[in-house]
Amino acid sequence: MPTPSETLHIHPQAEVVNLVSDLAAKEATANKGEANGYASLGSDGKVPTAQLPAAGSDPWSYLRLTSDFSTSSATLVDVTGLGFAPAANQRYEFEATLFLRTASAGTNPRTGFAWPTGLTDGVAMITQAPATATGAAVFASGNPNAALQIAAGGLLNATQSWPAFVKGAALVGASPSGSLRVQMSSETAGTNVTVKAGSFLRHRLVP
């Protein structure tokens, strides 16, 4: 028959090698399937979808017109809502898609693009619908030395939208001031041209 010393054999935790540190480092069961805890496994041996991280976010930031922007100015004006102020010492790429209208067939919406000060470099190009069904598209390209502007040309009709696209990149210095922005003017002073709601400018940082 066992003696009392044989049935009751106790050691303090400190006498068991690594026991204290191992117990302190273990995950509590309450952390299973929780944020900052650990994943569980479903009956199929896989981590349940609800415990998987969300898909990566879209790196583009979008600026979209929620209402039409019209002008009859023969000089470039900023398209309200289609511009952003860049952060210092960053690199950006940007793209705009514009739905253009004219109040008079043959009067061109002259798309433009303007730069802030404080850039170390930049490039951009504008492509716009041709004046005739068989004509070539019109282009403008440049750098922060001056604003870009599409040449005179004219849209095919006054009843439908026609496209213009802006694409470029900017390298920002330590002290930028102002914004990268889409501009618009009318080929003929006094005749309305319109950038339709739904047009957008998007931009993102370049690593």
* Rounded Cα gap, residues 30 and 129, in angstroms: 62
Residue type, 42: G
Structural domain contains residue 5: no
Q: What is the pLDDT along the chain (207 residues), one digit of tens a residue?
A: 556 555 566 767 776 777 677 766 677 777 776 666 677 777 776 777 666 555 556 799 999 999 999 999 999 999 999 999 999 999 999 999 999 999 998 888 999 999 999 999 999 999 998 877 767 888 999 999 999 999 887 787 889 999 999 999 999 999 999 999 999 999 999 999 999 999 999 999 998
Scanning the structure block, which residue is given the tokens 């023969």? 74
CA of residue 72 relative to chain centroid, distance: 30
Q: How many domains does the chain have?
A: 2
Residues 166, 107, 199: CA angle, nearest 5 degrees: 35
Query: How high is the pLDDT of residue 105?
Result: 86
Structural domain contains residue 110: yes
| Shared domain check, 84 and 15 | no
| Shared domain check, 184 and 98 | yes
Structural domain contains residue 16: yes
Domain that residue 198 falls in: 61-205
Scanning the structure block, which residue is given the tokens 């005749």? 191
